[in-house]
Amino acid sequence: MGVGMIFAAFAKTLGQLGDPRFRRVLWLGIGLTIVLLAMAYVGFLWFLQWILGPSSTLPVVGEVTWVNDLATWASLLFMIVLSVFLMVPVASAITSMFLDDVAHAVEDKHYPHLPAATSVPFGEAVKDTVNFLGIIIAANLLALVVYAIFSPFALFIFWALNGFLLGREYFTLAAIRRVGRAGAKQLRRKHMGTIWLAGTLMAIPLSVPLMNLAIPILGAATFTHIFHAVAAKQQ
C-alpha cells in the first residue's frame, strides 16, 4: 500500500512539470543547488591550492608546477564523487527554502478545495532548518565509522540512513503547514514506514550526479502529496 502511494505521489509530481509556476520553482531550486555545490568546490579548491602552494618540489626532479594542475583536475573528479554526499545536506537546505512555494503550487492544482495553509513563522522555520541540517551532518559524520566497518554495504546504509532523515524532514515540513507541529509528529509516527521508504527512494537518485539536481524540489512536491494521502486516511 505504501509503495503504491509513493509512486502515485511521484506520478502526480511529474504530471505537474508542465505547470509554469511549478517549473519556476524547479529551475530556481536547480540553480541554487548548482550554486551551493559550486561554492563547496571553490572552497575545496582554495584549500587545496593553499596546501600545495604555487608550485611543488619533487625529489630529483626539483620544482614543478604541473602537480598543481593535476591536483586541480583531480579535485574536480573528487568533488563530483563528493557531491553524492554533499547533496544530502543541500537537499535539506533546499526543501526548507522552497517547500512552501512547492506546496502552494501542488495544492492549488490538486487540492484547490483546501483552505489556506498556516505559514510557519520565520524564526521557527530557521530553527527547524538549522536543527534538521545539524542532525543530518552529525548523523552522516558518525556513520563514517559504520561505512568503514561494513564497506560492502556502505551505499545501502547511506541510502537507508539518509532516507530516514530526509523522509522525516520533508514530511514534517509538508505536514506542519496543515496540522501543526504536534499533528505532524503524530502522523509521522503512524506512517513512518511509508515515509522512510519514500525518503530512501529519494536518497537513491540523490546519489546520481546531474539527476540529483532536480530531486530536492521533486521530493518536496512528492512529500506534499504523501502528506495529503496519509492525512485523508485519518478522516
Tens-place pLDDT, residues 64-93: 454 455 455 555 666 666 677 778 888 888
Helix (H) or strand (E) holding 230: helix 215-234
| Rg from Cα positions in the chain | 20
Residue 54 pLDDT grade (very low, low, confident, very high; cuts 50, 70, 90): low
- In whole angstroms, what is the distance from residue 178 CA to residue 76 CA? 43
Write down the pLDDT at residue 174. Answer: 93
Residue 32 pLDDT grade (very low, low, confident, very high; cuts 50, 70, 90): confident
Whole-angstrom CA distances from 61 to 58, 68, 73, 82, 173 are: 6, 15, 22, 32, 58
- Tell me which residue of 190, 176, 186, 101 sits closest to 132, measured CA to CA: 176
Q: Is the pTM of this model over 0.85?
A: no
* Amino acid, res. 48: L
Cβ–Cβ < 8 Å for 160, 89 = no
Tens-place pLDDT, residues 205-220: 988 877 888 899 999 9
- In whole angstroms, what is the distance from residue 160 CA to residue 141 CA? 15
Write down the pLDDT at residue 59. Answer: 45
